[in-house]
Chain A
Amino acid sequence: MGWFHRRGWRDLIIGLPYLWLVIFFLIPFAIVIAMSVATKTPTAPPFSFGGAHPWVNLETYHRLVSEPLYLRAFLISLMNAAGTTLFCLLLGYPMALALTRVSRSSRNILLMLVILPFWTSFLLRVYAWMGLMGKSSWFNAGLTEAWNWLVPQSWAVAALPMMHSNFAVVLVMVYTYLPFMILPLYASLERLDPTLDEAALDLGSRPWQVFVDVTLPQSLPGIIAGGLLVFIPAAGELVIPSLVGDASTPMIGRVISDQFSQARDWPMASAVAVALLALMVGPTMLYSHYQARAEGTK
């Protein structure tokens, strides 16, 4: 029939994405794995496969589990990512639900507004937050006012120390990743049949029960997809914790970066990167499992 059905063309088109993945993901990742079991040397490049443990040197992995710095960084990363995901979900779910309930014309405008921040440089937006959180900003002054009014006199502060804290990291990450939560949630909520809500109302459920019994369980694939899209990049986030975070509570992205560029310990940096990826594979598999199950019901 058409040119597409000629074997060569078809294989090329199907093969291109795979080729891309091999060149830009699999091969680099293999290099990283190889590097993680190499030995650090003061040469350039700063590693070798020789020495006391030719080819495979597991020292980096041993340090990874035995030195508290790494475990702590992993723990902080996971907690910050989990907190970011939770707040994105709490904020994004009502927004996504509202998007499905408004008229078609306002829906398009609102969807536009969700995506609009991407039109400005990400760095610029983070710097804007730094300005807002800084002690001399009107934003901080307003929040300080509210804080001092709410808490007992002895807790009163001149300005809230928002910058360089985990709070700032999570706040900016929630702001940055919120669209990644809203969009998949909207996609899954938009597909739901509104007569199911009516059926549940008809059978005696009040609106909040309808939400719990009908809407929430059916939007689970959207929650998982949005959760992963937020959790995975948030766990490995480097820029936001570097700019607004606190050096005493490093996230794992910062550890990798520091090992590479400052400590010049490439094997260690690689080992941390491999461990991070291994940690992220788990949730991704979970998502694939749910995705496959959701498709099975159609």
Chain B
Amino acid sequence: MAEFLQIEGVSKSFGPFQAVRDVTLSVAQGEIFSLLGGSGCGKTTLLRMLAGFEEPTSGRIFLDGRDMAGVPPWSRPVHMMFQSYALFPHMTVEANIGYGLKHETLSKTQRAERVREMLDLVQLTPFAARKPHQISGGQRQRVALARALARQPKLLLLDEPLAALDKKLREHTQFELMSIQARTGVTFIVVTHDQEEAMTLSDRIAVMDRGQVQQIGSPTEIYEYPVNRFVASFIGSITSFEAEVMARDGGALRLKVPAFGGEVTTKDANFAPGSKVTLALRPEKLVITKERPSGNAVQGVVKDLAYFGKDSLYRITLASGALVQAHAVNQHRGTETQRVADWDDQVWLSFDPAAAIVLGA
């Protein structure tokens, strides 16, 4: 098994603090792989170990079959796009992009040619002679990207690549990053705390918490089939209930959910009768109706409502006092009085057995 990037049992401690604990994962060539987690989850430390700024306390990192232990940052075929971009303020855009190239055996014309290509790739040719403080934040981000790509690294590390951009620019840049990745074929490792960013950019995501990898999978796998409560609540929003397995019948599971006011039926998940589990429901999987539907249903009162235009978020209080979030797409055009439900309305919440997530307690 010769994966392109292989991280084997890597741990990193700073004094008594364990920043990264026994991380094992592999990344294929040409993949966009995200390390997702909150601050202090160890994702940045892992990235810095890949760049060579930190050495693992234990474990090994192989890149394209080569053990990276003891290889200094300047000799690694790995380049990084820093969160702050770290552009050299005293150099022009052109000089920034060409900086790494002076370490390659290229003729002057070859080097100029490569810089020109890079400027072209990120559409900054007219700004070549500007200094970093003379261009916009989005342009600076592209200079940082071009600079990191100029030496044609095997691996590109992106530390919160979109964090410093405003929302509009972020969406645009996301797609631009993906298209540049597709054109260059360089393997991207993205560190981010923003789950939306990770979901849209990545082929696969590793969700991290307290130095450990919680789950590795495609965005869909992570979102629809989280393996534990941390992943389920970190990615998207979710409402969880304590539950107990009553019976198993083929693919179906009968759960007793006190907060839900009775029993519900769900699919998948292997749990023996009697075990304590968690029933987790995503807001968009819940259906709000005025009349009682068949199947899994519970009654509640609309306590709060947020109108976003394309959809609305409802916060519904159940008889047990539990608060549930439900999303409804505003399919029909209409005034306030014509929507699915209004403040203080009595409504029914229902969900498909296959839509519920059942996790170990």
Assuming the contacts A204-B74, A205-B74, asked whether A297 and B84 have C-beta atoms less than 8 A apart, the reply is no
Cross-chain contact A203 with B90 (CB below 8 angstroms): no
How far is B89's CA from A297's CA once the two chains are assembled, in angstroms?
8
Interface pair B51/A202, CB less than 8 Å apart? yes
Q: Are B86 and A205 in contact (CB under 8 A)?
A: no
Residue from B84, B87, B89, B151 in contact with A204 in the complex, judged by beta carbons closer than 8 Å: B151
Please measure, in the bound complex, the distance between the C-alpha atom of A195 and the C-alpha atom of B86, giving whole angstroms.
Answer: 6
Give the chain A neighbours of B82 by CB distance below 8 A. Answer: 195, 198-199
Q: Is the CB of B147 within 8 A of A203?
A: yes
Whether B103 lies near A205 (C-beta < 8 A) is yes
Q: Quick check: is B99 within 8 A (CB to CB) of the other chain?
A: yes
> Residue-by-residue, is A209-221 near B (CB-CB < 8 Å gives 1, otherwise 0)?
0000110011000
Contact B103 A203 (CB under 8 A): yes
Say whether, besides A198-B82, A203-B151, A204-B103, A218 and B73 are in contact (CB < 8 Å): no
Complex CA gap A203/B99 in Å reads 7
Q: Which A residues are CB-close (under 8 A) to B79?
A: 202-203
| Chain A hits for B75, CB < 8 A | 204
Contact status A206-B74, CB under 8 Å: yes
Q: How long is the Cα–Cα vector from A196 to B131 in the complex, in angstroms?
A: 15
A:244-276 near B, CB below 8 Å: none
Does B4 lie at the interface of the complex (its beta carbon under 8 Å from any beta carbon of A)? no
A-side binding surface: helix, strand, loop or mixed?
helix
Quick check: is A298 within 8 A (CB to CB) of the other chain?
yes
A114 at the interface (CB under 8 A from B): no
Output the nearest chain A residue to B51 by Cβ-Cβ distance: A202
- B75, B78, B90, B133: most-surrounded residue (chain A CB, <10 A): B90
Q: Which of A193, A218, A298 contacts B86 (CB 8 A)?
A: A193
What 9 A-B pairs come out closest when comparing CB atoms? A203-B100, A204-B103, A199-B86, A195-B86, A201-B73, A217-B90, A204-B74, A202-B80, A297-B133
Q: List 23 A-B contacts (CB under 8 A).
A: A193-B86, A195-B82, A196-B88, A198-B51, A198-B53, A199-B86, A201-B73, A202-B78, A203-B74, A203-B100, A203-B148, A203-B151, A204-B74, A204-B75, A204-B100, A204-B103, A204-B151, A205-B103, A206-B74, A213-B99, A217-B90, A218-B90, A297-B89
List residues of chain B with CB under 8 Å of any chain A CB.
Answer: 51-53, 72-75, 78-80, 82, 84, 86-90, 99-100, 103-104, 131, 133, 147-148, 151
A residues contacting B by CB (< 8 A) are: 193, 195-196, 198-206, 213-214, 217-218, 297-298
